[in-house]
Amino acid sequence: MQKFFKLDWVILTAIALLLVIGFLALYSVSRGDAGTDLGNFKRQLISATVGIILMFSIAFFDYRALSFFSTKLYFATLLVLFLVLFFGTTIRGTTGWIGFGSFHIQPVEIAKLTMVIFLASFFSKKKSQLSIVVRITASVVLVFFPIYLIIKQPDFGSSMIIMLSWAVMLSISGISKKNLAILFLMGVVISYSSWFVLRPYQKERLVNFVNPYNDPRGSGYNVIQSMVAVGSGGFFGKGLGHGSQSQLNFLPEKHTDFIFAVIAEEMGFFGATAVLFLLGLLLYRIKEVARLAGDNFGYLLAVGIMVMLFSQILVNIGMNIGVMPVAGVPLPFLSYGGSSLVAVFASIGIVESIYLHKVKTL
């Protein structure tokens, strides 16, 4: 019980409020879909329960033991990502789910976290053992395999999140500014070259990201409807269950990719601002936990989790307001998706474990 009261309750309060807002929005769109069809709402409730239990279990577990299991987690992740390509279920053009009855598990959501754990362990152990060139080269090779398997699904959004986590964790692990600049230029070249390997629908998403009205009834439809929903909410919103875009099914994927648009339309500017404040507070507290971490592994782990969550928030909200291409990235604690919700709860559990085992004091 002493450990329970020593947890970072600012983080726990923020995610509790986010969870309430997410459930209100999900309940609203579930009622709008078929009157009494609350299947998604109930599955999300089960996932949240599992996630909360997992979060507290991990919080009271010494996070430093994760370093010992990191290599095993890495190879297990590769195996699952490989198997899902052959035995996975295809949903909306992506073969990224493994079905168990009415439940579907999306391994890539767990892979984001396991890669952060593995990279934190790798960079903390190899900093004094390997030269910077060898360390960079080895990390590039190790990150390549999971990213390749994720792109094969295809899921470019998740692969970019892992790449960004790798880049930030590498940059704070002792790399010089010169080497960082070289890596940045390499990233620009690779990003430019990747255009030629994109599928036609993915190229359409990028083109219509610049001008969604180029194809308003096709690939630009989602973004246009989302921007209309966000803008029509006003200051106070239209009220739960009264959003025209979400309730009349103009807004696609409203319970997953575009849940923020539902919140902005039905809860208005104040509801959207509350979400942004709570997400910002969550990221700030994780940054503080990283600063207080008692060892380099804990520091890298907290920063990696912060970057993972920040990139998901940036991409999801960005595509809801038309400043990011649609990438199918869920909004933490708000979007429907059991795998994503359980994974982010596990991430917070690790952050709380780092906070409990810190050596430094406030």
Taking only the tens place, the pLDDT of each residue in 31-61 is: 755 555 778 888 899 999 999 999 999 999 9
Can you give the pLDDT at residue 311?
A: 95
Judge whether residue 17 has pLDDT over 80: yes
- For 177-186, the pLDDT digits (tens) are 676 777 777 7
pTM for this model (two decimals): 0.90
Can you give the pLDDT at residue 50?
A: 96
Q: Report the 3 state secondary structure along the chain.
A: CHHHHCCCHHHHHHHHHHHHHHHHHHHHHHHHHHCCCCHHHHHHHHHHHHHHHHHHHHHCCCCCHHHHHHHHHHHHHHHHHHHHHHHCEEECCEEEEEEECCEEECHHHHHHHHHHHHHHHHHHHHCCCCCHHHHHHHHHHHHHHHHHHHHCCCCHHHHHHHHHHHHHHHHCCCCCHHHHHHHHHHHHHHHHHHHHHCCHHHHHHHHHHHCHHHCCCCCCHHHHHHHHHHHHCCCCCCCCCCCHHHHCCCCCCCCCCCHHHHHHHHHHHHHHHHHHHHHHHHHHHHHHHHHHCCCHHHHHHHHHHHHHHHHHHHHHHHHHCCCCCCCCCCCCCCCCCHHHHHHHHHHHHHHHHHHHCCCCCC
Query: If you average pLDDT over each of 26-30, 109-113, 217-221, 240-244, which comes out highest?
Result: 109-113
Can you give the pLDDT at residue 325?
A: 79
- For 139-177, the pLDDT digits (tens) are 889 999 999 999 888 888 899 899 999 989 988 887 766
